[in-house]
Structure 1
Amino acid sequence: MRKGVFFVLVQFGCIFYLLFTGNVFAKHTFLLLLECLGIFVGVWAILIMVKTSQISITPEVKPAAKLVIKGPYQWIRHPMYTAILVTFLPLIIEHYSIDRIITYLLLTVDLLLKLHYEENLLTEKFGDSYISYQSQSKRLLPFIY
């Protein structure tokens, strides 16, 4: 099994577990707004990738791939991962249990490992262009990380 496929299987396993063991939408207004922000960022990132024909469920880089630095990608290199973490955090806060917290932590670790793996592949593919892009953007959180 390819490493990228493993990361995706863990990611979706965690997401499905979190969806089926709690509410899909937060009830508290602030948490719902945070969840909606995550969904918005995710949809925006997906639309940018679809528009540029770059969408892929695994982190492996397609041979004809082009470096995308528009939309949310101008500030963060992995907005879809950010969207997942931001979308699910309010659901964990509102309906927390040890198993859900552990699952969220596993999801976070999986996405961090996946993004490091993906960044190595992107550096191999795009070289100095990607290194320059890394110096102008953050991984997950604008201006922070």
Structure 2
Amino acid sequence: MYNDIELTLRITLYAWLACELALQVRQLMSSAPTERTEWRSLLLFVVALGAAGWAARPVARATPALDYSTASTGARLAVLIVAWAGIALRLWAIVALGRFFRGTVHVQRDHQVVRSGPYRWVRHPAYSGIALAGLALGVTYDNAAALLVFAAGGALALGYRIHVEEKLLSEALGTAYTEYAATRPRLIPGVW
């Protein structure tokens, strides 16, 4: 059973990455023209997450006193369920955005604030989904220092991306976005 869950975790990770890439390509080819587009935050996001994931392994080897185990079937199953929940939240947010979704931070002609789906509760549910799935998968490093490195890289990347996106949306959509933003937390209801 453990090997089946381990295989399912790996398939989940690679399928998620393939879907993200396919979504980016699809949106670049079929979405409406943008009035403003910002690419740097996407590049920084990918590089920061890749670097944090790469750095976590040597950090884990250097800090064996901080090891823990997720080797049990129950622990791996919990990680898998939480990762799937995060991925599902991200996909729900993308569906709710519809034609306004793109991998880049952008503003399209006649861009509007989306308030449906998970956007009823948080401003950036797609990023909430990434964070939830990423943390679940990061737990499988089986080392607290490695998880911290991975989470810190992800938090910095997401924080910068959110800052850039909110600035652009506030400038482009004005009070429609600032009023929406004033009534919703960024990522976690009741927290931030």
Q: Is the CA contact (8 Å cut-off) linking 1:122 and 1:130 kept in structure 2?
A: yes
TM-score by length of 2: 0.62
C-alpha separation in 1, matches of 2:90 and 2:146: 25
Instruction: Find out whether 1:102 has 2:136 as its counterpart.
Output: no
1:1-145 alignment runs, 5 A limit: 4-15=38-49, 18=53, 28-50=76-98, 53-96=99-142, 101-145=148-192
Q: Is the CA contact (8 Å cut-off) linking 2:49 and 2:153 kept in structure 1?
A: no
Q: Is the CA contact (8 Å cut-off) linking 1:77 and 1:137 kept in structure 2?
A: yes
Paired letter, 1:49: L
Q: Is the CA contact (8 Å cut-off) linking 2:86 and 2:130 kept in structure 1?
A: yes
Structure 1 residues 104, 14: CA separation in 2 closer, same or farther (over 3 Å shift)? farther
Q: How much is the aligned-residue C-alpha RMSD, in angstroms?
A: 2.7
User: Unpaired segments of 5 or more residues in structure 2?
Assistant: 1-35, 58-73
User: Unpaired segments of 5 or more residues in structure 1?
Assistant: none
TM-score by length of 1: 0.80
- Of structures 1 and 2, the larger Rg is shown by 2
Question: Aligned pairs, how many?
Answer: 138
C-alpha separation in 2, matches of 1:102 and 1:4: 27
Alpha-carbon displacement from aligned partner over 1:36-76 (angstroms, at most 9, x marks no partner): 110110010111122xx101111122233111111001111
* Larger proportion of strand: 2
